Structure 1
Amino acid sequence: MRVLPVVLAFVALVALAGCSAAPEPRPKPISCAAGTAAGQGSSAQTNALQAWIKAYQIACPDATVEYAGTGSGAGVRAFLGGTGDFAGTDAVLGADDLRRAEQRCGGPAVHLPLVAGPIALAYNVAGVDELRLTPATIAQIFSGKVTVWNDPAIAADNPVAALPAIPIRTIHRADSSGTTDNFTRYLAGAAGPQWPHGIGGDWRAPGGTGEKGSHRVVAAVARTVGSIGYVESSYATVNDLPVAHIGAAGGPFTAPSDYAAGLAIEGATITDDLRIELRYDGTADYAYPMVLVSYEVVCRTGTPAVTRSFLAYAAGEAGQEAAQAAGYAALPEALRIRVRQAVLALT
């Protein structure tokens, strides 16, 4: 019998196959630095910052990174006043604030777009599993012109939905907010004259209920029957709230998603200093049009080593994967590379 040689040959083949198998991927390294870094600002990016801080401090035990979601306006004011190493903001600095930042830095200040995600319209309307809204209807709702859920304007966007005859209760940000700035920019660009209240971080339309911070907006929507409010999409997801699909009259209507937000960013204009100028004309099919891009503002020179190290991780592949796992859209690869290069140029 030749059983033993056959068995030995089989064992040899198994061993050879094991030797030729691809090695398991190694964890992506984080280039650590020792010390502390502190920032504050945009509440919309808080979940991403928390994910980054957790991963970074596990890898870098000699570093301490802190971030407070105080709102974009408060974060920028604190940074301009010399508090903290970076500011989180959902809107680029205006000319006056940019001059003050340069004075604070003793040189140029840099915008780093690190967090992106759709702005969702979270709602609390029993029996409405899918809500579709056009820009004009959204503008009329938040202007206080459309006040009940079965209004003809909403019914036209939702011809097969059973809309209840209950009051609409809008929820907006009470504090100065980059989410408000991005939301009003969308309304001004997409709804035109239906939105006469201008743009900016402070809410100017009449009526509604104001809440400080994204977490309080979603909490108010969750407890208020008939309500609708705007928040960064991850907050709606975490709180298990339904969100509206947005589109032009006649469609297509698109739900907020990482992929659809990425399409909108890919169609944006990116300036030499990494400011993202979004388009609101609805020409990009299946792009979700209401997108928030959140920045970290830092000094080009004099930024502490741990801040540079932390932001380099956030702009790397592993950092963007962590942001995506936290409910945000990863930056398009070409933009991510440019942002990381800008971080590595900090001194």
Structure 2
Amino acid sequence: MKRTSFRRGVAPAVAAIAAISLTACGAANEDSGDKGSDSGLSGTLNGGGASSQEAAQTAWRAGFQSANGSGVTVNYDPVGSGGGRESFISGGFAFAGSDSFLADDELTAATTHCGTDPIEVPAYVSPIAVVFNVEGVDELNLSADVIGKIFNGKITKWNDAAIAALNDGAKLPDANINAVHRGDDSGTTENFTNYLSVVAPDAWPHGEVETWPIKHGEGATGTSGVISAVKDNPNSIGYADASQAGDLGKVNVQVGTDFVAPSPEAAAKILEVSPRIEGRPAVDMAVELDHKTEEAGVYPIVLTSYLLACQTYDDAATADLVKGYLTYVLSAEGQKTAAENAGSAPLSDALSAEATKIVSAIAAK
């Protein structure tokens, strides 16, 4: 599996839809009143999934609830992409966040649950940073081959000749590398190993996986767990959504003859050269990332975060909440909020418009 494309802003038609939703939501409950919005939006919406979306979801929830007053509550449980898709398919979550698109069997199961093709639209794109904590090393250049060998347990020392060759003059210690990976099912792992399997298959022969396939290294739960493990243990390296990397070092990844640092702008560029997955339903916007690109300025390790929802729900209140919340997320305001609080690259105008049109059709059965 691979992923999708983006940047900021919404076309006028999309902005209008967002404005309608937020106005409908926004005439909101005053203080502690429980009247709900002019559109009757009220109640509790439960979702969950990708832990990499946690920072963005926190900002989106705050913005949406502020616009709609005390009668609306949105909950997001960062259980991981796999757990989010599973709970969505089983009916535990009304919507889910995922860093990988639905596999064919999941798509079939989700269709059965929803009663029609499930909605799968991008929320944002974000670079996956290879984070490190090595005393005396502030900048680190690595190729896909070296990254693959580190996480595969074939390069185990920081002063290995292969690392030194890419970092002339760096004071690399004669210390063991502690390679930290996700211990839970993870869309971040899936995107990270997809990159390695495509660009460095000999160094990483385990393919694209959501569950870590080997015993080498240290496992940690969730994005925050990986960040904490790397931060708390010198000579560690890991991978995580760049928005949550904090003050950890971030690897410059080799693309062609250059080394590119993770940034929203560099991550967004890969989406411009990546095709849509063929044979998917009209409400499915899954994209296959071109990790092999050598275009200048492109950061190649990227996750596309998706939002999953049904086209119809059993009751109007849930349908209205899902539609209102997802419309806010896809709006110019929602995308700006995620960019400012989660460091993500906002959707392009065209993608925002397409995704919002799909979401705008959500209704009660």
When normalised by structure 1's length, the TM-score is 0.88
State yes or no: 1:120 paired with 2:129.
yes
Tell me which of 91, 100, 106 is aligned to 1:97: 106
Q: How does 1:265-280 map to 2 (within 5 A)?
A: 265-271=271-277, 273-280=284-291
Q: How does 1:1-347 map to 2 (within 5 A)?
A: 29=19, 30-31=22-23, 32=25, 33-61=41-69, 62-237=71-246, 240-248=247-255, 251-271=257-277, 273-302=284-313, 304-326=319-341, 327-347=343-363
Deviation, structure 1 residue 192: 2.2
Summarize deviations over 1:288-319 as a string: whole Å, max 9, x none.
Answer: 00000011111112262011101001001111
Deviation, structure 1 residue 321: 0.3
- Structure 1 gaps of 5+ residues are 1-27
2:311 corresponds to which letter in structure 1?
R
- The count of corresponding residues between Structure 1 and Structure 2 is 317
Q: Which of the pair has more CA radius of gyration?
A: 1
Deviation, structure 1 residue 159: 1.6
- The residue aligned with 1:21 is none
CA distance in 2, matches of 1:36, 1:269: 37
CA distance in 2, matches of 1:276, 1:60: 33
2:292 corresponds to which letter in structure 1?
D
Could you list the runs of 4 or more consecutive aligned residues of structure 1 that deviate by over 4 angstroms after TM superposition? Answer: none
Deviation, structure 1 residue 74: 1.0
Deviation, structure 1 residue 168: 0.4
1:72–1:176 Cα contact (<8 Å) kept? yes
When normalised by structure 2's length, the TM-score is 0.84
CA distance in 2, matches of 1:257, 1:245: 10
- The residue aligned with 1:24 is none
Distance 1:180 1:72, change over 3 A: same
CA distance in 2, matches of 1:270, 1:317: 23
- Structure 2 gaps of 5+ residues are 1-17, 26-40
Summarize deviations over 1:187-223 as a string: whole Å, max 9, x none.
Answer: 0111122211111210113310001100011000001
1:37–1:304 Cα contact (<8 Å) kept? no
1:294 corresponds to which letter in structure 2?
S
CA distance in 2, matches of 1:243, 1:105: 40
| Structure 1 stretch displaced more, 191-200 or 180-189 | 191-200
User: What secondary structure is seen at the aligned counterpart in 1 of 2:240?
Assistant: strand
Deviation, structure 1 residue 35: 2.4
Give the root-mean-square deviation of aligned CA atoms. 1.4
1:113–1:295 Cα contact (<8 Å) kept? yes
